[in-house]
Amino acid sequence: MFKRSKKKTSPQFIWLFILAPLLLTACQSTGKTALLNHYYDHGSAALNGIIATDFAPDGTLWRLFPTDKNIFVEYSTDLGRSFSRSFKVNPEEQKINVWAENPPIIKVSRSGRIHVLYYADEDQRATTYFSYSDDQGRTFSTPILVSDEATTAMHYMDQMLVDSTGKVYFFWHDTRHGRHDPKLGSGVVSLYYTTFDRVNGRLENQKITGGICSCCRTAIALAPNDKPVILARMVLEKGIRDHALIRLLDNHQWSKPIQAITDNWRVDACPEHGPAISIDDQGRSHLVWFTLGEQRQGIFYAHTDDYGHHVSHPPLALGDPSQLPGHPDVLAIGNRVYLAWQEFDGEQTHIVVQYSHDRGASWSHSKQVLSAPDRTAHPQLIQQNDNAYLIWSSEGKGLQLITINND
Amino acid sequence: MIKSTAMPIFRLFSCTLLLFFTVVVSANDANEPNGLRLGSYQELVAQHEAKPLVVVFWSISCASCLKEMATIKEIHQEQPSLPIVMVSIDDSTEASAVLATLQDKGLSDLESWVFTESNPQRLRYEIDSTWYGEIPRLYFFDADHNRRGISGKISKADWLELLAS
């Protein structure tokens, strides 16, 4: 009986094996399952030429590729020479919004979780969404709004970073407190933040400070104690737009802003030119910024060992003043400090790098390393193990990645 | 029979379509900002040869620019013969938002342009090789077209002083 029954059912099992993958594929093509169906041909040009990147702990390079309606994520195991198929983050099409001062972000935690932050035009322009993947990009969580007043208050210029425990910090410019001191002038907003981790999934918004220049990206870095430090262009007394440091204290309160830089740039304008910060493992904050102040004009470097109370002086002027040097980034790895910025000669944008082997005490000559004739992102310095990489994207050339030669 | 009924319908449709394009599209043409490409700025300035001129670069997302518009409206009302040209550095895909903003601020009768160049930095450099892109950016031209560039929102008193100098 058993033997006969086995003989009769055997062909049915064979058909099941043949049909099951076909049925599964059919289900996937109708979009009823969140699994698989990940390949998308998004073309070669990212929206406004802007591509975000980060290294995973295993050395895999991840990139976020925005198009006009979608956000894609891809990875490379050969330092960007080739990329995987594309994984889509947003399940429904959205009007994606990116500009160089307000780019999307991708961050990979030590555990390998891939975090994505992007902007789409909804009730407010450039509304921020957050999503993550725990399966190497195959599936992403349903994107959620970062701001809890996303429909009524504009919020943008977000920064996202992940600490060593996997806790995610978000910082952004928020217009929900519309009434700022009128003596400061216009374009003054608040700085907000929230956190996200495996335990606390709720994004509870908290104000850090008012008096933030609305259209200059705020810079964030982790100190050796794993807590964030902020470098922001603030609107100070008499409408002076200079830079201040704010840090998260051990009592979980934010310090008052400490004006670290005095350029006396008195202007009621949108500079669209935010600073950058990197903190070395001994706690020295390396700062780069742009100003057209009374004291100095152009881009500059300085460092501080006490979060802005005392700052190296005079600041180091960077770049060729006749080539509009701007949008600098900084990266500290041990005693080495790397700088990168862009210059423009009327036809092409160039990326120039400079480095120090002694924590910013002395510097190499500057060197032009990349060029592009079209619209570009700002240059970005990122670390993988002990190496510094310069990442830069443009409309025509896409993503370019180079190691910075220390010799 | 078929011919006699089809033609009037066709004619009616054609006339309606023509009317639509005449009224709606041409009206839009009159208000839509012009596209500013490489070379456009020089043409823009040349059109106002031998006369004082103010060119204002602004953006729909720039709070300082929007505040400045109240002063621009006052100056325009007091000196209607002074050409003030509004140039939005927003992408040309934002042309309708640019127009809506100008209408909202009572400035839609001013000559208006919007950046229409794939690399906006190249366009900015052609206008002024010392301009980093901060806005509002105002250029005051005297009758000889000597140009003075100012960054940031300025007061009405500053406007009047710059126009008088």
Question: What is the per-residue DSSP string for A133-168?
Answer: ESSTTSS-PPPEES-TTTTTS-EEEEEEEE-TTS-E
B119 and A268: CB-CB below 8 Å? no
Give the per-residue pLDDT at A181.
73
Residue A294 confidence (pLDDT) above 80:
yes
Q: How far is B130 from chain A (nearest CA, A)?
A: 7
- Chain A residue closest in CA terms to B127: A346
Residues in B touching A100 (Cβ below 8 Å): none
A110 in helix, strand or coil?
coil
Dihedral-angle region of residue A105 (phi above 0 means left; psi in -120 to 50 means alpha; beta otherwise): beta
- Using alpha carbons only, how large is chain A's radius of gyration in Å? 24
E strands in A142-281? 144-145, 155-162, 168-174, 188-196, 206-213, 219-222, 228-235, 241-247, 258-259, 276-279
Minimal Cβ distance to A268: which of B64, B129, B130: B64
More confidently predicted of A94 and B2: A94
B69–A contact, CB cutoff 8 A: no
Q: Which parts of chain B have pLDDT scores under 50?
A: 1-30
For residue A101, the model assigns a pLDDT of: 95
Cβ of A375 within 8 Å of Cβ of B129? The answer is no
Question: Do B63 and A214 count as a contact with CB atoms less than 8 A apart?
Answer: yes
pLDDT tens for A364-375 read 999 999 999 999
Q: What is the mean pLDDT of residues A79-92?
A: 93
Instruction: Average the pLDDT over A315-323 and give the result.
Output: 97
What are the extents of the domains in chain B? 1-31, 33-164
Q: What is the ipTM of this complex?
A: 0.84
Share of chain A above pLDDT 90, in %: 78
Of B63, B66, B151, the CB nearest to A267: B151
Where b means 16+ CB within 10 Å and e means fewer, B124-159 reads: bbbbeeebbbbbbbbbbbeeeeeeeebbbbbeeeeb
pLDDT digits (tens, 9 = 90+) for A115-128: 999 999 988 888 99
Query: For residue A14, what is the DSSP state?
Result: H
- The alpha-carbon gap from B60 to the nearest alpha carbon of chain A, in Å, equals 11
Distance of residue A187 Cα from the nearest chain B Cα, in angstroms: 5
User: Which pLDDT belongs to residue A203?
Assistant: 82
Confidence class of residue A132 from pLDDT cuts 50, 70 and 90?
Answer: very high
**Domain covering B33-164 assigned CATH 3.40.30.10 in the classification:** yes
Q: Would you state the pLDDT for residue A198?
A: 67
Mean pLDDT of the region A84-108: 96
Is the per-residue pLDDT at A33 higher than 60?
Answer: no
Give the position of tokens 């901060």: B134
**What local confidence, expressed as pLDDT, does residue B118 receive?**
87
Of the candidates A186, A326, A349, the beta carbon closest to that of B67 is on A186
Q: Do A324 and B67 touch (CB under 8 A)?
A: no
- Each residue of A236-249: pLDDT tens digit? 999 999 999 999 99
- Mean pLDDT for chain A overall: 88
Give the residue carrying structure tokens 């050796």: A224
Report the pLDDT value the prediction gives residue A201, as an integer from 0 to 100: 63
